[in-house]
Structure formats: structure tokens, C-alpha cells
Amino acid sequence: DAGVIQSPRHEVTEMGQEVTLRCKPISGHDYLFWYRQTMMRGLELLIYFNNNVPIDDSGMPEDRFSAKMPNASFSTLKIQPSEPRDSAVYFCASSFAQGVVGYTFGSGTRLTVV
């Protein structure tokens, strides 16, 4: 298995632009998580899905952030409009069970908003 695949690896965008991050979980994994990592806040859980259904989005910072999972093999995290404070590394992770096995993380997307 190729693991959790994220794209793009790096994204530089101007403030106000729309940004879309993509994730392909490991086949057979029913849970998908989006995390944001910064020096100040560490690893923050933004949202997670089970069987393509959003379960907990309480970590989504504001309405500018949205996430979808149209099928079991694809998810997107969208920021519209982007702001400089959104600059961070965004990780996608997947798991085949909830809370009783570890997550497998993707390589992350480093987002820079200028």
C-alpha cells in the first residue's frame, strides 16, 4: 500500500485566495482525520470522518474552513478565503478502527499564505 497520500506537498498562495488540500486514505481505513500543526498549537484535530460522514468538526477554526469526503478514497480540506494565520502544515491521517489502533499520517501539505 502506498500509505496516506496528500497533495500538494507545498502550497504558497496569496491572502484571500482559495486553497484546496487533498487526501487519499489507505484502502480499507474507515476513519479519516485532518490535523493542523504549528509551533504554537502543536497538532490540532480539525475534523474527522467515519465511513465518509463527518463525525466531529469542532476543531475547524472558522467558517472559512470546510472539509468533504465524497467517497471512501478521497477527502478535501478547503480554506476560502485564506489568511496568513492559516500558514501551517496540514496532515491527513487514516485508521481502520477508532481509538484502539494508531493512525497512519500522510506526508503533509505545507501551506504558506502571503
Partner 1 sequence: GENVEQHPSTLSVQEGDSAVIKCTYSDSASNYFPWYKQELGKRPQLIIDIRSNVGEKKDQRIAVTLNKTAKHFSLHITETQPEDSAVYFCAGGGSTLGRLYFGRGTQLTVWP
Residue 52 or 107: the one with the smaller Cβ distance to partner 1 is 107
Closest approach of partner 1 to the CB of residue 32, in Å: 11
Closest approach of partner 1 to the CB of residue 108, in Å: 6
CA distance 41 to 26: 27
Residue 59 or 81: the one with the smaller Cβ distance to partner 1 is 59
N-term to C-term CA, the chain: 36
Closest approach of partner 1 to the CB of residue 111, in Å: 14
- If one counts every other C-beta atom within 10 angstroms of the C-beta of residue 9, the result is 10
Residue 48 or 65: the one with the smaller Cβ distance to partner 1 is 48
Pairing of strands 10-13, 109-113: parallel
- Return residues touching partner 1 (CB under 8 A): 33, 42-43, 45, 48, 55-56, 91, 97-108
Closest approach of partner 1 to the CB of residue 23, in Å: 12
Residue 56 or 83: the one with the smaller Cβ distance to partner 1 is 56
CA distance 86 to 104: 23
CA distance 80 to 50: 24
Residue with grid cell 500509505, as numbered in its chain: 3
